[in-house]
Amino acid sequence: MTTERSNKKEKRKNSSFPIPMVSDDSSCNLGEIKINHSVIANIATLSAMQTKGVLAVGKHGFANGIASFFSSKKSTLNGVNVSEDEFGNYLIDICLTLKFGCELAKVASNVQQNIIDHITKMTMTGVSKVNVIIDGVEISETTDKNEFIEGEL
């Protein structure tokens, strides 16, 4: 009897449940999934902030804050603008402040790749362009300011 129980337990352990897969099969149309552009903007912001060399996303200053508040573009969120091309792929514009002393082009390229990777993975939708606008360069608060004054990078 104990061997029968252990065999049943083994069968339950080895049996697998079907995992639902995302497919393009139109026969099982459950409805449409839409992702708000503000969600895409949040993903882009978080992806950029995870990139080494990025200090902030969005334009700084009181005037820019007021201008973005009254902006007519609904898909603009803290320096990130999201739109779609004719094929449904995302077009993203992102304004960044980078750390002083970093390689600007390299950081911008890493930001582009991180945003594309995260959005594609999370939404299963392509990203056709990520335009990076470097809005400023600042010394990080965590960096010793004397190091830059002496000319050491």
Cβ atoms of residues 91 and 44 within 8 Å: no
Domain assignment of residue 119, yes or no:
yes
How does pLDDT run across 85-114, given as a tens digit for each residue?
999 999 999 999 999 999 999 999 999 999
pLDDT at residue 17, as a whole number? 46
Residue type, 101: G
Residue 87 lies in a domain: yes
Other residues' Cβ atoms within 10 Å of the Cβ of residue 111: 26
Overall size of the chain counted in residues: 153
Q: Are 92 and 40 in contact (CB under 8 A)?
A: yes
> How confident is the model at residue 134, as a pLDDT?
96
Residue 142 lies in a domain: yes
User: In the block, which residue shows the tokens 């094929």?
Assistant: 87
pLDDT tens-digit readout, 4-54: 555 555 554 544 445 445 555 555 688 988 899 999 999 999 999 999 999
Mean pLDDT of the chain: 78
Residue 105, domain member (yes or no): yes
pLDDT classification of 122: cutoffs 50, 70, 90: very high
Torsion 35-119-106-142 (CA) sign: positive
* In a domain? residue 145: yes
What domain count does the chain have?
Answer: 1
| 99 CA to centre of own chain | 19
Q: Residue 137's CB: how many other CB atoms inside 10 A? A: 14
| CATH number of residue 115's parent domain | 3.30.70.1350
Residue 14 lies in a domain: no
Is position 8 within any domain? no
**Does residue 40 form part of some domain?**
yes
Residue 135 belongs to domain spanning: 35-149
